Amino acid sequence: MEEKKGLKKNLGVATAMAIVVGCVIGSGVFFKPQAIYTATGGAPGLGMIAWIITGLASIAAALTFAEVAIMIPKTGGMVAYLEEIYNPVVGFLAGWVQTILFYPAMTSALAVVCAQQAALFIGDGFTVPLAIGIIILIIFLNSLGSKVGGSVQIIFTVCKLIPLILLMIFGFIKGGGANPIFTPMVGDGLSPAVVLGQLMVAILFAFEGWTNVGAIAGEMKNPGRDLPIAIVGGVSVIMGVYFIINISYLWVLPASELAGMTAPASAVALKIFGDVGGKIVSVGIMISVFGACNGFVLSGSRVAYSLAAEG
């Protein structure tokens, strides 16, 4: 479309994969074990199996999404796909909801989580001003161009994996490894089928965000080649990270203890690294949610642009 000439095709597979991984891995990986092992009654088995099942379902969805993205390599992602496949009205409604509600809400929530973690170092009372400052900073960086926004996304995606890798490595090195991983499946008196449904809903939320990459298709140098690699590769990386780090959590603390902790990752880090462990996780959460916030601004602004370009 003539009005879309303003977007330069200067984004590659690294930026696309960073959006997939960066938007999905936010704060959930640090807190989700509590919800999972509460649902299983403190038993680890079905929780670990649910990570595998839901991960494979997400990869199947990613394959489908990648095929559509190849056929419709337009800026706007889901909006463009729904317009092309169904009807312009359907695409507009999806774009309207994303622009008015979804992206602003996700950006705000992530900025608040980032500010809350920063408050542990600078004191309470600054959460809201700091959250607003984080959003303004991210918008400023992205207004410098897609290359700057993409570079920020790559840097923070790499940085967010560092604390997760540390938790994995030292969890296996310093953890006792005596806790059960795949047994028992669920606690006494619980239905595995019912619990599995609850677990999949919770874990699917942890996978939320990888579809955002479709919004930058119009700015990619070679979307036909790079989008499928980014989408399927990114979701596979996410599944691997989630599965391995949850094993490392169990390597250190049993599922019954993780179920009763509001911040399971911090508890594991304290066990591994001592008092400094909590600070490591807090910094990790800050980096992780900042990167996710940038990813939502980077992709969400393209949805608004696409709607505006079409009048």
Cβ-proximal residues to 226 (8 Å cutoff; 6+ apart), any chain: 12, 13, 16, 220
Cα–Cα distance between 1 and 95 in angstroms, integer?
18
Domains of the chain, residue spans: 10-309
Cα–Cα distance between 55 and 235 in angstroms, integer?
8
Cis check: omega of the bond before 104, within 30 degrees of 0: no
Q: What is the pLDDT of residue 225?
A: 87
What fold does the segment set 10-309 form as a domain? Answer: Amino acid/polyamine transporter I (1.20.1740)
Torsions phi, psi for 11 (to 5 deg): -110, 140
Look at the pTM and tell me if it is higher than 0.75: yes
Q: What is the pLDDT of residue 6?
A: 64
Cβ-proximal residues to 271 (8 Å cutoff; 6+ apart), any chain: 174, 175, 252, 253, 277
Q: What is the pLDDT of residue 2?
A: 41
DSSP structure class, residue 220: B
Cα–Cα distance between 306 and 215 in angstroms, integer?
9
pLDDT along the chain (311 residues), means of 10: 61 92 90 94 96 94 88 86 92 94 94 90 86 96 92 93 92 92 93 95 90 86 88 93 96 95 91 88 92 94 89 86
